[in-house]
């Protein structure tokens, strides 16, 4: 069974010196590619280097909506340098809007939202410029994300809503626009009926799987540190939901991820 983890955060594993171990376990579990996603500019050269040294790792460049800091404003100027030469990122991400964790004070909340929107628009502009895929983090903000993407001119077919957390109806709306969603180990959780419904509403043709590790470990590892080698548990669960074999899910999602991100 071959799988691609389309969204992970390997920084912790690199920092702790565990990365070789993690990659060995992932390869043994059938992972043929792992995409590691940036949350801040300090990770960019780290991921670029890892990617240059490791053929089955890819990366995304971006600033997470909850990690925006004034000192990162200049970082965007270096964006272009990462797209030239070896080990270019396969997408811009993760970026987007997180309206789940907002300050209680309404004025402060509005200021945070405005900052996130400015950051997101900047990413979308660059996605347009570099004609690249975009990995969107949307929490309580699907409509606002759609509005910003529409205004940016980035084709929705270049957009994936990672760790999809909207309704089945919203999934259909996104699919109609041309966008897609990818799914994490949450689909293995008993209480995640709504998410499984959204996954079924999209269908297998656009399905991609991800760990979003070190978070969101699938059952039976829920609550523990997640890693790419646990992705088969999510594939099995997706197979059960769709009524197909894990092998079928693995083949379909691997091909979808290759096609979407342009992986070899």
Which residues are at the interface with Zn ion (CB under 5 A)? 212
User: Nearer to Zn ion by C-beta: 246 or 253?
Assistant: 253
Distance CA(179)–CA(150), nearest Å, equals: 11
Distance CA(167)–CA(161), nearest Å, equals: 12
Strand residue runs (E) in 79-203: 91-98, 133-139, 159-161, 180-183
Q: Minimum Å distance from CB 244 to Zn ion?
A: 27
User: Nearer to Zn ion by C-beta: 3 or 246?
Assistant: 3
What's the maximum distance between 2 C-alpha atoms anywhere in the chain? 51
User: Nearer to Zn ion by C-beta: 11 or 212?
Assistant: 212
User: Nearer to Zn ion by C-beta: 98 or 212?
Assistant: 212
List all residues 6 or more positions away from 131 whose beta carbon is below 8 Å from its beta carbon.
Answer: 158
User: Nearer to Zn ion by C-beta: 5 or 212?
Assistant: 212
Q: Which two tokens stand for residue 96?
A: 């987007």
Distance CA(54)–CA(208), nearest Å, equals: 22
User: Nearer to Zn ion by C-beta: 160 or 246?
Assistant: 160
User: Nearer to Zn ion by C-beta: 154 or 216?
Assistant: 216
Q: Minimum Å distance from CB 93 to Zn ion?
A: 8
Q: Minimum Å distance from CB 212 to Zn ion?
A: 5
Q: Minimum Å distance from CB 38 to Zn ion?
A: 9
Q: Minimum Å distance from CB 63 to Zn ion?
A: 12
**Position closest to Zn ion via CB:** 212
Distance CA(192)–CA(151), nearest Å, equals: 32
Q: Which two tokens stand for residue 140?
A: 């309580």
Q: Minimum Å distance from CB 176 to Zn ion?
A: 25
SS3 state of residue 262: coil
Secondary structure letter of residue 53 according to DSSP:
H
CA 136 to mean position of chain CA atoms: 7
Distance CA(21)–CA(81), nearest Å, equals: 30
Q: Minimum Å distance from CB 94 to Zn ion?
A: 5
SS3 state of residue 203: coil
153 conformational bin, left if phi > 0, alpha if psi -120 to 50, beta if neither: left
Distance CA(122)–CA(98), nearest Å, equals: 16
User: Nearer to Zn ion by C-beta: 62 or 232?
Assistant: 62
Q: Minimum Å distance from CB 172 to Zn ion?
A: 24
């Amino acid at each position: 069974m071959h799988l691609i983890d389309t969204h992970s955060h390997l920084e912790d594993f690199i920092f702790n010196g565990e990365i070789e171990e993690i990659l060995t376990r992932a390869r043994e579990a059938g992972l043929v590619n792992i995409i590691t996603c940036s949350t801040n500019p300090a990770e960019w050269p780290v991921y670029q280097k890892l990617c240059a040294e490791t053929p089955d790792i890819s990366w995304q460049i971006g600033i997470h909506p909850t990690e925006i800091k004034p000192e990162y404003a200049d970082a965007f100027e270096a964006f272009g340098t990462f797209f030239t030469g070896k080990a270019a990122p396969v997408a811009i991400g993760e970026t987007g809007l997180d309206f789940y964790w907002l300050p209680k004070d309404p004025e402060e909340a509005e200021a945070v939202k405005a900052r996130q929107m400015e950051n997101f628009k900047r990413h979308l502009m660059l996605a347009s410029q570099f004609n690249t895929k975009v990995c969107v983090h949307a929490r309580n903000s699907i409509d606002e994300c759609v509005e910003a993407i529409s205004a940016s001119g980035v084709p929705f077919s270049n957009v994936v809503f990672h760790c999809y957390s909207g309704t089945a109806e919203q999934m259909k709306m996104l699919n109609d626009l041309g966008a897609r969603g990818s799914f994490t180990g949450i689909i293995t959780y008993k209480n995640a009926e709504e998410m499984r419904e959204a996954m079924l509403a999209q269908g297998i043709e656009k399905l991609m799987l991800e760990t979003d590790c070190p978070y969101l470990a699938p059952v039976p590892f829920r609550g523990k540190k997640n890693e790419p080698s646990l992705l088969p548990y999510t594939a099995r669960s997706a197979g059960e939901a769709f009524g197909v074999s894990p092998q079928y899910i693995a083949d379909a999602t691997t091909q979808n991820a290759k096609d979407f991100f342009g992986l070899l």
